[in-house]
């Protein structure tokens, strides 16, 4: 899903960078105002970023020339909320772009928007919704985790389809790129959903305070 | 320490096994990045190599075979992320948030 350089037109580049910068500014404001950027959570952000970076290197090639790999946006959103979760994916995407040129510098705004904002927010809200329906139960963790991971990557794929579809460089418009990207990511996203659900459940069993932190933030506490 | 030993161990294992998926199996099935394939079919100009600034392009290390380069790249990436985490941690402990 990492869009390389040369795929997006200047308007799409400017719009996606603007969205990314505005969201980052709001996240920094939120993090400072809420005082959630404690030393312990910096450790969780670092650990999750390192884990997602390593997990993204495990490309599962599929005969026919494509691949599947874990993205982790939904997982970060569920574990750390929409702002610290964004920070995790931003760090991963920045390092991939600057150090390995995986994802273009002109497409960094779009890649952060897709994986760091859309996937993270979707994961977060799916999990909150599941928690409101089923409470702090295992059912909520598994269903919320699965939906967060699956829908997160699917919506990120659809937004990616919009970006490349609107770009004049692509001869096919959004009528082609959105369904192709959406359907493909909805199929591959099942694995993302399963991994997210099991990781959330595992983390809750081993360190419940990490997952419970999300509930406190979403309901107004620290 | 920025991250716990358990997490670090998991990350090291993931990086060590990553070439099985990212290099060996990828070569076996003729894998290319999906968006690169689309660009080639459509005749688009992927300018990644034209404007490249890093010696570690596509998780390779100059002079090293692909498998070893992939592993070294993984450790470089993890190292940079943990270094960023260390800087952030120093920053937060000074601010006493």
Residues of A whose CB is below 8 A from B54? 98-101
Disruptive mutation site among A100, A156, A203, A206 for chain B (greatest number of B CBs within 10 Å): A100
Beta bridge partners of A68: A60
Tell me, what's the pLDDT at B39? Answer: 67
b/e sequence A41-72, b meaning 16+ C-beta within 10 Å: bbbbbbbbbbbbbbbbbbbbbeeeebbbbbbb
What ipTM, to 2 d.p.? 0.87
The values of phi and psi at residue A65, to 5°, are: 100, 15
Cross-chain residue pair B26–A59, CB shorter than 8 Å: yes
What tokens were used for A187? 């199929």
Q: How far apart are the first and last CA of chain A?
A: 34
Residues of A whose CB is below 8 A from B37? 65-66
Question: What integer is the mean pLDDT of A56-81?
Answer: 82
- Identify the CATH class of A10-218: mainly alpha
From B63's Cα to the closest Cα of chain A, the distance in A is: 16
Beta bridge partners of A61: A67
Question: What integer is the mean pLDDT of B59-72?
Answer: 95
B37 lies within 8 A of chain A by CB: yes
CA A173 – CA A206 distance, rounded (Å): 47
What tokens were used for A109? 């705004």
B94 lies within 8 A of chain A by CB: no
Beta bridge partners of A67: A61
- Domain boundaries of chain A, sorted by first residue: 10-218
The per-residue DSSP string of A144-212 comes to HHHHHHHHHHHHHHHHHHHHHHHSTTSSS-HHHHHHHHHHHHHHHHHHHHHHHHHHHHHHHHH-HHHHH
- Give the pLDDT confidence of A151-208 residue by residue, as tens digits: 999 999 999 989 988 887 777 788 888 888 888 889 889 999 999 999 999 998 888 8
- Compute the Cα dihedral for A183, A188, A191, A193 and give only its sign: negative
Please tell me which residue of chain B has the smallest CA distance to A102. Answer: B58
CB A152 within 8 A of CB A173: no
- Compute the Cα dihedral for A135, A209, A57, A111 and give only its sign: positive
Cross-chain residue pair A170–B44, CB shorter than 8 Å: yes
How confident is residue A210, by pLDDT bands cut at 50, 70 and 90? confident
CB A198 within 8 A of CB A35: no
What tokens were used for A146? 């699965």
């Amino acid at each position: 899903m990492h869009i390389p350089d040369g795929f997006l037109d200047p308007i799409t580049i400017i719009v996606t960078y603007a969205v990314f910068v505005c969201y980052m500014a709001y996240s920094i404001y939120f993090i400072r105002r809420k005082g959630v950027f404690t030393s312990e959570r910096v450790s969780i952000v670092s650990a999750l970023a390192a884990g997602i970076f390593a997990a993204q290197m495990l490309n599962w090639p599929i005969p026919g020339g494509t691949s599947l790999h874990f993205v982790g946006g939904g997982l970060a959103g569920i574990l750390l909320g929409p702002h610290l979760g964004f920070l995790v994916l931003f760090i991963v995407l920045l390092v991939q772009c600057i150090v390995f040129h995986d994802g273009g510098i002109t497409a960094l705004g779009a890649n952060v928007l897709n994986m760091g904002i859309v996937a993270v927010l979707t994961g977060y809200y799916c999990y909150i919704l599941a928690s409101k329906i089923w409470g702090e139960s295992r059912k909520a963790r598994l269903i919320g985790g699965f939906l967060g991971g699956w829908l997160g990557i699917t919506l990120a794929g659809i937004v990616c389809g919009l970006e490349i579809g609107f770009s004049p460089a692509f001869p096919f418009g959004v009528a082609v790129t959105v369904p192709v990207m959406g359907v493909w990511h909805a199929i591959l996203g099942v694995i993302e959903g399963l991994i997210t659900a099991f990781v959330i459940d595992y983390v809750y069993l081993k360190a419940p305070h990490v997952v419970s932190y999300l509930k406190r933030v979403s309901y107004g506490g620290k | 320490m920025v991250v716990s030993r358990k997490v670090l161990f998991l990350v090291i294992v993931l990086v060590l096994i990553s070439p099985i998926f990212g290099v060996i199996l990828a070569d076996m099935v003729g894998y290319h990045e999906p968006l690169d394939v689309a660009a080639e079919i459509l005749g688009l100009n992927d300018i990644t190599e034209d404007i490249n600034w890093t010696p570690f392009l596509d998780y390779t290390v100059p002079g090293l075979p692909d498998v070893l380069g992939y592993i070294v790249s993984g450790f470089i990436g993890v190292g940079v992320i943990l270094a960023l985490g260390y800087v952030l941690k120093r920053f937060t402990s000074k601010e006493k948030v």
